[in-house]
Structure 1
Amino acid sequence: MAQVAFLDNLLREYLVFRGFSSTLKALDLEQRTEKDQHFRAERILEQFNNAIQSYDLQAVRSLWLHLDNNLFSKLEHTYAVAVKKLENSLLKYYLVTAYSNNRADKVSEFFNKMAGELQQQSEWKDWFYFPFCRNAEESPTFALFFTKQWQDTLLLSLRNFLTTVYQCLPQPTFVRAEQEAALMQRLSDDNTGLRTRLLQMQQEMHQLSQQQQQSGTAATGAGSLGGDGASRRRSVYRPQQSLSDILPFDISPPGHIVDDFCIIASEANSVSQASDAQARGLKLLIRNIGSGSSPVLPRKDQAASSLGDKSTKRRSGSVGRSWI
């Protein structure tokens, strides 16, 4: 990539400036032997193999710690088991290689340095017997790790895992330096443009407020002229009011609040009472009719009887007076 080549030139310039001649030679050598500009997982595997074949436990641990801090720690939590499995398998491969080459001192050194860390893991419980085991390649516990199939499978799995991780990881900060600088410049330009627009809007608002004040002064001066011309000028130069300038009317609240459903209910009660009274009157009339008596006829009989008594009294009196 052109960006990677540009950064390589920057790195070379920095090394020359600092006087790191040996580092610069190593960089030039690796760049000449490099077939492509992309990362290759084989290089990591080659470094692990070189450290294991030379029985350099510190190099193996340092390289794995670097990968764990910068690569594996950025993965999801579900990959933690796979990462730990690869680490333990790589350490077992180191022990098997040292034992196969009759380097018992390196095996003892391994457990002296790693015992405090490994004794907390149940997977390494049987491996503490490994330094004292004779013919470990024939033991049912350790025979699998001496086979070429297991060792090739381990290296292939580690290679595939590193390749997948590097393809998913974002670019380093050093590679994104140019992009970050361009982004910061664009954001700075946008901020400058926004500040300019804000200043222009403030100036326009200030000019508009001055015009409104001048128009209000002109309308006040025109009020002394009178007539239609003055009223027309007042209507023309009247300043616009906002919602905050409008005062509400002073309307007193009602004395009580009556719900419409309450009115409907009271109306329904009055109607029901009137209908009940009418129903009782009709029932009484029908009952009197059915009994053969009339509520009107008794009143007529009583009136007739009273009239007959009066006539008889008058008749008897008149006869008596005439007879006397």
Structure 2
Amino acid sequence: MAQVAFLDNLLREYLVFRGFSSTLKALDLEQRTERDQHFRAERILEQFTYAVQTYDLHGLRSLWLHLDNNLFTKLDHTYAVAVKKLENSLLKYYLVTAYSNHKSEKISEFFNKMAGELQQQSEWKDWFYFPFCKNAEESPSFALYFTKQWQDTSLLSLRNFLTTVYQCLPQPSFVRAEQEAAHMQRLSEDNVGLRSRLLQAQQELQQQAQQQPVSGSSHNLSGDANTRRRSVYRHQQSLNDILPFDISPPGHIVDDFCIIASEANSVGQASDAQARGLKLLIRNIGSGSSPVLGRKDHAAGSVGDKSTKRRSGSVGRSWI
């Protein structure tokens, strides 16, 4: 990639400026032997293998932690089990290699540094017996890990895993420096443009507010008048303020028992008046001077005199 080549030149310039001649020679040597500019899982696998064969536990752990923090932690949580299994296989490969080459001090160093971390894992329960085991390659617990098939399979699985997850590998900050600078420049330009648009919008709002005070005040006056009218109208239509014109309010409170008693008295008076009327009617019938018959005779005698006159008054008025 052109960007990687550009950064290589910057790095070379920095090494020359600092006087790191041996580092510059190593960089030139690795660049000449490099077949391509792309990431290759074989290179990381070679670093792991070199750390195991040189019994460099610190280098092995540092490289794995670097990949774990920058690559493996960004994967989906479903890959956590596979990552942990590959790490344990790499550490077991380190112990088997040290045992095969009779490096018992490296095995003791391994457990002294890693015991606090490994004792909480059930998978490593039998491995704490490994430093004291004689003929471990023949033990049922460890014989599998001394076979070439298991070792090659473990390294191949690690290589395939690194190749698969390389697509998720973020670029180093040194490589992204130029892109980040261009991105920050674009953000600054966008920020300036947005600030100018905001200032222009605020000025337009101020001008509109200065042009509308008169119309706004007249509108407020008319609105206040309408409000007063509505309030007066509501006040006149209130039921609490309306009093009957012809009926004066009672001076005292009348209870229900008084009302019932007065209704009973009025009913009794009406029945007495009706009884007196019937007695009078019977008396008149018995005496031969009926008020109805007398009215009919009087009406027949006065028909000729009052035929042209309109009769006034009410007919059939109650005689009781």
- Bucket of the pairwise TM-score, normalised by the shorter protein: 0.5 to 0.7
Structure 1 unmatched ranges of 5 or more:
217-238, 258-300, 314-324
**SS of corresponding position for 1:241:** helix
**Native 8 Å contact 2:71 2:168 kept in 1:** no
**SS of corresponding position for 2:55:** coil
| Matched residue type, 1:66 | H
Between 12-21 and 200-209, report the one with greater CA deviation.
200-209
- What is the aligned partner in structure 2 of residue 64 from structure 1? 64
Cα distance in 2, alignment partners of residues 115 and 206 from structure 1: 73
- What is the aligned partner in structure 1 of residue 99 from structure 2? 99
**SS of corresponding position for 2:32:** helix
1:305 Cα offset (Å): 4.5
| Matched residue type, 1:311 | G
Question: What's the C-alpha RMSD, in Å, of the aligned pairs?
Answer: 3.2
User: Would you say 1:145 and 2:145 are equivalent positions?
Assistant: yes
User: Would you say 1:17 and 2:37 are equivalent positions?
Assistant: no
Alignment coverage as a number of residue pairs: 247
- What is the aligned partner in structure 2 of residue 308 from structure 1? 285
- What is the aligned partner in structure 2 of residue 177 from structure 1? 177
1:108 Cα offset (Å): 2.9
- CA offsets per residue over residues 8-55 of structure 1, 9 Å max, x none? 222222222222222222222222222222111111110111111122
1:209 Cα offset (Å): 6.3
- CA offsets per residue over residues 89-135 of structure 1, 9 Å max, x none? 11111111122223333323322333333223222121122222222
Cα distance in 1, alignment partners of residues 37 and 217 from structure 2: 67
Matches within 5 A, 1:132-171: 132-171=132-171
- What is the aligned partner in structure 2 of residue 222 from structure 1? none
1:194 Cα offset (Å): 2.6
* Cα distance change, pair 199–104 in 1 and its aligned pair in 2 (3 A): closer
- What is the aligned partner in structure 2 of residue 54 from structure 1? 54
* Cα distance change, pair 201–20 in 1 and its aligned pair in 2 (3 A): same
Cα distance in 2, alignment partners of residues 108 and 191 from structure 1: 60
Matches within 5 A, 1:1-324: 1-204=1-204, 212=211, 239-241=214-216, 245=220, 247-248=223-224, 249-250=227-228, 251-252=231-232, 253=234, 255=238, 305-311=282-288
- CA offsets per residue over residues 212-241 of structure 1, 9 Å max, x none? 49xx9xxxxxxxxxxxxxxxxxxxxxx442
Cα distance in 2, alignment partners of residues 76 and 2 from structure 1: 31
1:75 Cα offset (Å): 3.0
Structure 2 unmatched ranges of 5 or more:
241-277, 291-320
| Matched residue type, 2:174 | F
**SS of corresponding position for 2:216:** coil
* Cα distance change, pair 312–123 in 1 and its aligned pair in 2 (3 A): closer
* Cα distance change, pair 191–114 in 1 and its aligned pair in 2 (3 A): closer
Cα distance in 2, alignment partners of residues 5 and 193 from structure 1: 35
Cα distance in 2, alignment partners of residues 54 and 43 from structure 1: 16
* Cα distance change, pair 241–66 in 1 and its aligned pair in 2 (3 A): same
* Cα distance change, pair 196–97 in 1 and its aligned pair in 2 (3 A): same
* Cα distance change, pair 122–256 in 1 and its aligned pair in 2 (3 A): farther
Cα distance in 1, alignment partners of residues 18 and 150 from structure 2: 46
Between 42-51 and 194-203, report the one with greater CA deviation.
194-203
Q: Which has the higher contact order (CA 8 A, sep 6+)?
A: 2
* Cα distance change, pair 192–243 in 1 and its aligned pair in 2 (3 A): farther
| Matched residue type, 2:216 | Q
